[in-house]
């Protein structure tokens, strides 16, 4: 979420976090560029930032093959401005002032587009995760998982059979406020294991992290 208005950025981030998304915040293009060395499902850019028009930055990244969906926010509402946003690589365009709920719906739609090619229902052994319904079942029994537990299990199932490091889980399932030195990942994995019950499908890979497999 790249926005120089602190109050708006905080409100939008809170709304997106409430939908279980992990959100990284930036105030300008320079901060965003540093954050975008990591993988994201969507980026929201205010057009006019302290260090320039973000459309130019997105256009340059598109020329390099960058394919992450982008939503532009702006108070510039002319037809030429909106067309310019799309021509510079934007995937969606929202004019200020806007309803935060609408922006959240648009971001979720772009995140789903980013995940195209990934099945919405993931299965490993008798564990079934439905991303669209946000449901997890084991042996047909519906389980109750928190947003963070769901996100961790979903990522481990996407990477089924592969070793996934704690840092990788932090990057994909938490925002930048998470302390990489804490045991927050291990604590969430323990809770997920307990809810899945035996036989265990999440295995510890010593020195690497975790692997989910039957």
pLDDT of residue 178: 55
165: which strand partners?
209
Helices marked H in the chain — which ranges? 6-17, 29-35, 54-63, 79-87, 100-114, 147-158, 166-173, 184-196
What is the rounded distance in angstroms from the CA atom of residue 9 to the CA atom of residue 7? 5
**In the numeric block, which tokens belong to residue 191?**
């809770």
Q: Is 25 in contact with 9 (CB distance < 8 Å)?
A: yes
The CA-based angle 63-176-23, given to 5 degrees, is: 65
**In the numeric block, which tokens belong to residue 80?**
């030429």
Q: How many CA atoms lie within 13 A of 133 on its CB side?
A: 11
What is the rounded distance in angstroms from the CA atom of residue 64 to the CA atom of residue 79? 27
What is the rounded distance in angstroms from the CA atom of residue 55 to the CA atom of residue 147? 33
Domains and CATH numbers, the chain: 6-114 (3.40.50.2300), 121-212 (1.10.10.10)
pLDDT means per 10 residues in the chain (214 residues)? 93 86 91 88 93 92 86 85 87 88 87 66 88 86 91 90 88 67 86 94 91 90
> How are beta strands 92-95 and 70-74 bridged, if at all?
parallel
CB atoms within 10 A of CB 34: 11
Q: 167-176: which pairs have CB atoms within 8 A and are 24 or more residues apart? A: 168/209, 169/209, 169/210, 171/38, 171/39, 172/22, 172/39, 173/22, 173/148, 174/22, 174/148, 175/17, 175/22, 175/23, 175/24, 175/25, 176/24, 176/25, 176/35
Nearest Cα residue to 49 out of 2, 99, 115: 2
């Amino acid at each position: 979420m790249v926005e120089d208005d602190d109050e708006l950025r905080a409100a939008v981030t809170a709304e997106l976090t409430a939908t279980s998304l992990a959100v990284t915040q930036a105030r300008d293009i320079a901060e965003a560029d540093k954050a975008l060395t990591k993988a994201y499902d969507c980026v929201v850019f205010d057009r006019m930032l302290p260090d320039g028009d973000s459309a130019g930055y997105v256009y340059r990244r598109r020329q390099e093959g960058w394919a992450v969906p982008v939503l532009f926010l702006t108070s510039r509402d002319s037809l030429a401005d909106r067309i310019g946003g799309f021509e510079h690589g934007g995937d969606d365009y929202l004019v200020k002032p806007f309803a935060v709920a609408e922006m959240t719906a648009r971001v979720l739609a772009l995140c789903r587009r980013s995940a195209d090619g990934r099945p919405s229902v993931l299965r490993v052994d008798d564990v079934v995760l439905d991303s669209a319904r946000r449901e997890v079942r084991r042996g047909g029994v519906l389980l109750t998982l928190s947003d963070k537990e769901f996100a961790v299990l979903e990522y481990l199932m996407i990477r089924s059979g592969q070793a996934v490091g704690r840092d990788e889980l932090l990057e994909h399932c938490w925002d930048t406020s998470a302390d990489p030195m804490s045991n927050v990942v291990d604590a969430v994995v323990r809770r997920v294991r307990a809810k899945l019950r035996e036989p265990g499908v999440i295995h510890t890979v010593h020195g690497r992290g975790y692997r989910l497999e039957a």
